[in-house]
Chains A and B, each alone.
Chain A
Amino acid sequence: MRWSLLGAAVVTLVVFLLAQRTQGIDVSYGRSPSPSDAGQQSDEDAESDETGARGESSLPSVEEMTAMVAADPVVRLPGAVARWDERDVAEAIGDADIRIIVAPPGLDEDERSQVREVENATIAIFGTKITGDGYVVVADRLSGWRTQFGTADVTGRLITLITEVAEREEPEPETTPEFRWREPSGAELDTVAADLRADGVHVADGATLERVPERPSETAFPDEDALYVALPTQDIGEPIARYGPALTRLFPDRPVVVLYGSWIEYDGPNATDFAELVSTMFYSRFDERLSVDGYPQANVLGVWLNHVTDVRYAGLFDRPLPYEPPDPLTVTLPALPWLFAACVVGFVVLSLRPLSRHNTARTPGPRARLAGLTALAIEVSGLTDERSDPALTRGIGKLDAARDALDSDLPARQVRALLDDAESELDDTARLLGRTDYRPRNYLEGGLG
């Protein structure tokens, strides 16, 4: 019992010490499981796969590019994606000498500065980022981002920059609406719906979605498996098929995520609650990176889904937070010192009890025998003569010693040995007297009476 208590105390101590090592202070409420919590992590996530997206195109040298720009007011380097309405832009340029160089997305810092060194280019476009004359033109609302990432159409911003560079005061010319929706045709919708019914994903030709990121998808849409439609960057100037609402009618209560290039549309449950919010958060934060670097759709989708998860855990979905069972160790940790103290006290009490218990178990045997032998010695003492006196005296001495031993709690063995000595002396005495009835064995058998 006390050893098990000691063991429990030691186990408690060990558990406590181990817990001290592993436990950090970690207070969270409804922590979002998305990795983007850690700030730059999603950037790094995006970056880690980025190498595959980088164009293998090797840039021409600065001199070559300068010559190209001198020969042609618009130079598109291999892999360039930015497009614009030629007519509107030409109109905006008018007779100003504005030369444009269009670089592909995914250039690294050195390559970008190489393009910037092309002195005679007024405007440089990296991916869909437009820079020129010290200006950078960025989209600042969803419609702008939709145009930029869904169609790589830079007309509006390009015209803004041209107006700025040409230092013209007149208002910007009217441009055709950049992004127009249309209902998908029956055939288009059937193709997509068939794929979605089969495995929940439709990847159109030219789309770069290789796989749907599984974990972000599960945490972002835990209730219903989301449907994913990946389309390539759309052509400009044509209305674009809007699959979301049509698919929502076909698959009610399923989240529908449609990617047009790097632009993500969401339709389905709670769409009004968070779709715009998430898109605004996402594109305002990653505008720069998405413009300059050409990420595969899987990376873009993964980071976007993490944003959805964050929003979900921020409580905007108005749903109860997922139940997190309390960690038993954390709950018991404050009680451990007391448990330990209780074990120690129990152990000590149980250990001390046998020590404090006095060996007072007075067995009646030796006392009765001592009393009997003493009575015999007194009876015989009146009869002894000179021959038997020493034996009797020695016997009485042994009896005294035995009484002392009994009184001072000496072990029973010692008392018995002394009583045995005394008995043999008294036996001698009786033998010397010739009185067999005074031999201790016979005498004690008859009892004291």
Chain B
Amino acid sequence: MPPSWLIWLVGGVVLVAAGVASTLLPRLRARDLRRRTAWSTARAAIDSASVSRDACQDQVAEAEQLLARAESIAADRGGAGAADEAAALAERADRLWREARRG
């Protein structure tokens, strides 16, 4: 039988480790999920915007600019905030191109 203080020590360490893990892990996971979600939205928006651009005969300088910024942000990668920003830029560009095409 191991000395009982060893059990107390190991038990205490395990408890603390479990406490840290159980608070930290879900938080990290949630952050990662939110980042990936945001990038999923952003990429979809950029794709849509590029399709709209290809479909539009006229040049829309402002939209080009917005999309270029969105793409450069996307190229840098980054957190959920950057992704949200890129998505917003791409959506604005998309809207501009669609309006231009509708005439």
Tell which of B40-48, B59-67, B70-78 binds the partner.
B40-48
Give the interface size bracket for A toward B. Answer: 35 or more
State whether A337 touches B51 (Cβ < 8 A): no
If the complex has contacts A16-B8, A397-B44, A398-B44, are A6 and B15 also in contact, measured as CB distance less than 8 A?
Answer: yes
Q: Say whether chain A's binding surface is mostly helix, strand, loop, or mixed.
A: helix
* A449 is an interface residue with CB less than 8 A from chain B: no
How many residues of chain B are within 8 Å of chain A by beta carbon? 27
* A80 is an interface residue with CB less than 8 A from chain B: no
* A374 is an interface residue with CB less than 8 A from chain B: no
* A212 is an interface residue with CB less than 8 A from chain B: no
Q: Which of B1-19 contact A (CB under 8 A)?
A: 4, 7-8, 10-12, 14-15, 18
State whether A410 touches B47 (Cβ < 8 A): no
State whether B14 touches A348 (Cβ < 8 A): yes
State whether A341 touches B40 (Cβ < 8 A): no
If the complex has contacts A390-B55, A414-B37, are A401 and B47 also in contact, measured as CB distance less than 8 A?
Answer: yes
Q: Which of B71-103 contact A (CB under 8 A)?
A: 101
State whether B44 touches A337 (Cβ < 8 A): no
Q: Which of A1-31 contact B (CB under 8 A)?
A: 6, 9, 13, 16
Q: For residue A390, which residues in chain B have a CB less than 8 angstroms away from its CB?
A: 51-52, 54-55, 101
* A322 is an interface residue with CB less than 8 A from chain B: no
Closest A-chain residue to B43, C-beta based? A401
Most A C-beta atoms less than 10 A away, residue of B26, B37, B44, B52: B44
State whether A341 touches B55 (Cβ < 8 A): no
Q: Kindly state the separation between the CA atoms of A373 and B100 in the bound complex, as whole angstroms.
A: 28
* A47 is an interface residue with CB less than 8 A from chain B: no
List 9 contacting pairs A-B, 8 Å CB cutoff, sorted by A. A6-B15, A344-B11, A352-B21, A355-B26, A389-B55, A390-B101, A398-B48, A418-B41, A418-B44
Binding site for B on A (CB under 8 A): 6, 9, 13, 16, 334, 336-338, 340-341, 344-345, 347-348, 351-352, 355, 389-390, 393-394, 397-398, 400-401, 404-405, 408-411, 414, 417-418, 421, 425
Contacts A9-B11, A341-B7, A347-B18 aside, 19 further interface pairs with beta carbons under 8 A come to: A13-B8, A337-B7, A338-B7, A344-B15, A344-B18, A345-B14, A348-B18, A351-B21, A355-B25, A389-B55, A390-B51, A390-B54, A394-B51, A401-B41, A401-B43, A405-B37, A411-B33, A418-B40, A418-B44
